[in-house]
Chains A and B, each alone.
Chain A
Amino acid sequence: AQSVTQPDIHITVSEGASLELRCNYSYGATPYLFWYVQSPGQGLQLLLKYFSGDTLVQGIKGFEAEFKRSQSSFNLRKPSVHWSDAAEYFCAVDSGNQFYFGTGTSLTVIP
């Protein structure tokens, strides 16, 4: 069965530091991959998506993610975190007929 794993429940980084949020998926073929961000009291907002082609994809707010087929991973990165990036981040996989979300990683940014 398809699944998405986000091994880090909570991460704390200092403002200006780099960030990497991990995501691993289980799926037989190359899936459609997404990262979403959720601020308190809000719905999920799409950060970026991977369908095919270049394995490094750029998203909004300075985020990027790299698809690594050999590792079944789609990690989210940002070179310099801003205080406004504090939120919940969700990785998602679309198998073509259903979306699967990870359990989320909560990001805290300290001054």
Chain B
Amino acid sequence: DAGVIQSPRHEVTEMGQEVTLRCKPISGHNSLFWYRQTMMRGLELLIYFNNNVPIDDSGMPEDRFSAKMPNASFSTLKIQPSEPRDSAVYFCASSVGAGSPLHFGNGTRLTVT
């Protein structure tokens, strides 16, 4: 079991550029979550999917953020255009469903200059 795989581990970009974060959940997991972690705000849930369908995207901060899950083994989180305040660590997590623990990837550290 390779666990949840996120790429890239680090991303440095300039303000205004498009950023795409990628996540491969654990095989067989039906739920996928995107979190953002900062010192000021802690862990924030951005969006989660059940069976590839977005269920709750109320945590997505602005229209600049979008997430997709085209199939059960892949999800992306896109920021366009990026801003310095988007700098954070973005985590992807997956689970087999409600009531089951989340399994986290190692995160993508995003720096927007």
B contact residues around A104 at 8 Å (CB): 42-43
A71 within 8 A of B: no
Contact A42 B106 (CB under 8 A): yes
| Segment 74-110 of B: residues with Cβ below 8 Å from A | 91, 93, 98-107
Min Cβ gap B62→A in Å is 21
1/0 per residue B19-53: CB within 8 Å of A? Answer: 00000000000000100000000110100100000
Bound Cα distance from A19 to B92, whole angstroms: 30
A contact residues around B102 at 8 Å (CB): 34, 44, 46, 92, 99
Contact B105 A49 (CB under 8 A): no
**Interface of B: prevailing SS:** strand
B56 within 8 A of A: yes
The CB with the most chain B CB atoms within 10 A, among A49, A94, A104, is that of A94
Q: A42-B106, A43-B105, A44-B104 are in contact. Are A99 and B99 (CB under 8 A)?
A: no
B contact residues around A94 at 8 Å (CB): 98-100
Contact A96 B98 (CB under 8 A): yes
Lowest 3 CB-CB distances: which A-B pairs, in order?
Answer: A43-B104, A44-B104, A101-B43
- Seen from chain B, the residues whose Cβ lies within 8 Å of a Cβ on chain A are 4, 33, 42-43, 45, 48, 55-56, 91, 93, 98-107
- Seen from chain A, the residues whose Cβ lies within 8 Å of a Cβ on chain B are 32, 34, 36, 41-46, 49, 51, 90, 92, 94, 96-99, 101, 103-104
